[in-house]
Structure 1
Amino acid sequence: MKDSLFIKAAFSEKTERPPVWMMRQAGRFMKEYWDIKNKYSFLEMCKTPELAADVTMLPVNLLDIDAAILFSDILVTGEAMGGDLSFTQNVGPRFANPVRTQADIDNLQVEVGDKLQYVADAIKVIQQRLNGKIPLIGFAGAPFTVMSYLVEGGSSKDFKLTKLMLHNEPAMAHQLLSKIAQVTADYLNLQIAAGVNAVQIFDSWAQALAWDDYKEFSHRYIVEIISKLNRKDIPVISFCKGSSVFAPLMAEAKPDVVSIDWNVDLLDMKKRLPQGVAVQGNLDPHILYADKKVIKDRIHKLFERMRDEPGYVFNLGHGIMPDIPFDNVKYAVEVIKEWH
């Protein structure tokens, strides 16, 4: 995979054009995804290696992107530790047994590799199908984000219960985060052993945190996870919503790539990061709703800004929304691939 555009850019080598993949690229904006989703539950899709491979391959075959990302979910670690996880249409993920007391934290398991074996099995199937064509990215949810779902019992707008634990019971919060961090490092190493070519850590809710809280309750655990990874030849990407604020701190955890949201000028941010740290991003996903002329203009503007800058992977500042027209996503990829 050393010749892959994506791997080269992730390791800050020069590439003839920025490689492209997009967060949530194997998702609900594709009719073909729904053809599968209408037959199986979301967790069945995650836990059945052949189905996970089918969904992972959709953007590879339909969009011709430069990297595939494993079809799974950031909450499988929380489930493996003992969370009673379900996904409901229009509601999202729920944990029926939220983690709120010392006893709840004590009950969480950390030796859960066997429970996540289905992910390793899916990776093997996907790699057979990719057949060395493009790299496969594995991923995991960051401890703070997984914690917030476990404590809230699902998605939250204000993270009130999570923040109450951070502020009133910091020792308990650290115990919970420490357990999740241990599982996350093991889980990413399990994916690397199974054959992924890169890994990304998703801290989807980091922007909910004040600077000092981010440092204490998120960043320190990402530092710990990255330090434990078997990362030889495997680029590590760190993503969080809020990276336009936190990126310089994120770089201190020594990832190879920091994924940047759309609230900041990408080149300015890259210049604030240490030499040799690549950036990924940072088109506002909402641009993909716009007319094709706008899509092309915005991508060209971003690429002109980043011209001759080694260590740049094109992505969105966050994931593709479910109702973005498929044709617009396909067009964006074509614009990127024609760039010179």
Structure 2
Amino acid sequence: MSTTLQNDLLIRAALSQQTERPPVWMMRQAGRFMPEYWEIKNKYSFLEMCKTPEIAADVTMLPVDLLGIDAAILFSDILVTAEAMGGDLSFEQGVGPRFSNPVRSAADAERLSTDCLHKLQYVADAIKVIQQRLNGSIPLIGFAGAPFTILSYLVEGGSSKDFKLTKLLLNNEPQLAHRILQKIADVTVDYLNMQIEAGVNAVQLFDSWALALSWNDYQEFSHQYNKYILSRINRTVPVISFCKGSSVFAPIMAEANPDVISVDWNSDLKNIKKTLPEGIAVQGNLDPFVLYAEKRVIKDKILQLFERMRGENGFIFNLGHGIMPDIPFDNVKYAIDLVKEFRY
């Protein structure tokens, strides 16, 4: 795959090959911190943006054109799989995603469809449009939400601070939880394979809420399904595994055999890398809040991280989580330019 790309830094780093500098992209890089995003968002609903291939491509290309990052990531949402399975999804300003028909009983679980890939065709269509526009310049990353994270949204009916209903399900009705998780995992395998077939150059599995779980529950209700997905997708492109909590769960995550583990900002990146099997790269792990700071601070923190990782193959620069909506655009641009000027 790397031979067809003009800039294949991300692919090489993901495969733990030597790079002249760390590649850089940022989670939520096509988002609300850009005025240009709002020009589009003010005309369409969020789901319209996701489901219209030309608009999804427009938004995907914003950080490519305005920031000069080393990889694009498909503009979409992790919850499109849950919607395709039968979740009645809406996005409310200031509230976030909502499911008006939460999944809390065996009957609700039975209703979830696994034969729903056709409903996600708009994602494959968007990938093709984006790849035409990228024209081999940089890699395109596809993605999906991991089963536990999708389950939590379906059970809670939206975002949650304490995941009380989800944990009640795991504790009181573990068999029902497993039934739902398996359905989500099967859809996720089909969905990622569809993206790979449509032409993405890498994929990332987002387990955004894994941090809510204990060590044992993570193994039972998250890891085994992530491992199932990674063992069944077409591994012709690098696979990045991300969760909030990766600083704790990285040793277990490695057992699923991803190419890259994306690490939150709570740990020392080099220490994590040293605990991983040879050949697993790391991505991360700047605290996104650093990007609110003065530029001299941003520079210091990034260079500290780079000094720490000097001599390590398999390092992709990213944030420990996504960019916040009110981070100054100039600070994000400054950080990316700084990374691109760096040389080992």
Same fold at TM > 0.5 = yes
> What residue is the counterpart of 1:85 in the other structure?
89
Give deviations 1:142-187, integer Å, cap 9, x for gaps: 0000000000000000000000000000000000000000000110
1:7 to 6, 11, 14: 11
Superposed counterparts of 1:323-334, under 5 Å: 323-334=326-337
The alignment partner of 2:2 has SS state of coil
SS in 2 for 1:222: helix
Q: What corresponds to 2:282 in structure 1? A: 279
State the match for 2:311 in structure 1.
Answer: 308
What is the match of residue 214 of structure 1? 218
**Structure 1: which amino acid aligns with 2:42?**
N
Tell me the amino acid that sits aligned with residue 34 of structure 1: W
- SS of the aligned residue for 1:9 comes to helix
Q: How many Å separate the matches in 1 of 2:146 and 2:47?
A: 20
Q: Does 1:120 align with 2:124?
A: yes
Other-structure match for 1:181? 185
Q: Which residue pairs with 1:137 in the alignment?
A: 141
Alignment partner of 1:52 out of 51, 56, 81: 56
1:149 maps to which residue?
A: 153
Secondary structure of the 1:252 match is: helix
- Equivalent positions of 1:189-208 (< 5 A) are 189-208=193-212
Uncovered stretches (5+) of structure 2, i.e. residues with no partner:
none
How far the C-alpha of 1:286 sits from its partner, in A, is 0.2
Amino acid at match of 2:150: V
1:231: how far off?
1.1
Equivalent in the alignment of 1:240: 243
SS in 2 for 1:99: coil
Letter in 1 for 2:225: Y
**Residue 98 of structure 2: aligned partner:** 94
SS in 1 for 2:49: helix
Q: Which amino acid aligns with 2:29?
A: Q
Cα shift at 1:308: 1.4
Of the three residues 176, 195, 208, the one matched with 1:172 is: 176
One-letter identity of the residue aligned with 2:267: V
- Secondary structure of the residue aligned to 2:256 is coil
Structure 2 counterparts to residues 32-47 of structure 1, below 5 A = 32-47=36-51
> For this pair of structures, how many residues does the alignment match?
339
Alignment correspondent of 1:265: 268
User: Normalised by the size of structure 1, how large is the TM-score?
Assistant: 0.99
* RMSD (CA atoms): 0.5
SS at match of 2:323: coil
Partner of 1:297: 300
Listed as ranges, the gaps of 5+ residues in structure 1 are none
Report how far residue 282 of structure 1 moved: 0.1
Distance in 2 (CA, whole Å) between partners of 1:81 and 1:334 is: 41
Percent of aligned positions that are identical: 75
Q: 1-side partners of 2:150 and 2:32: how far apart? A: 22
Q: Deviations over 1:194-219 (max 9, x none)?
A: 00000000000000000000000000
Q: Deviations over 1:17-52 (max 9, x none)?
A: 000000000000000000000000000000000000
Task: Output the TM-score relative to the length of structure 2.
Answer: 0.98
Write the letter of the residue equivalent to 1:131.
N
Which one of 16, 21, 35 corresponds to residue 20 of structure 2? 16
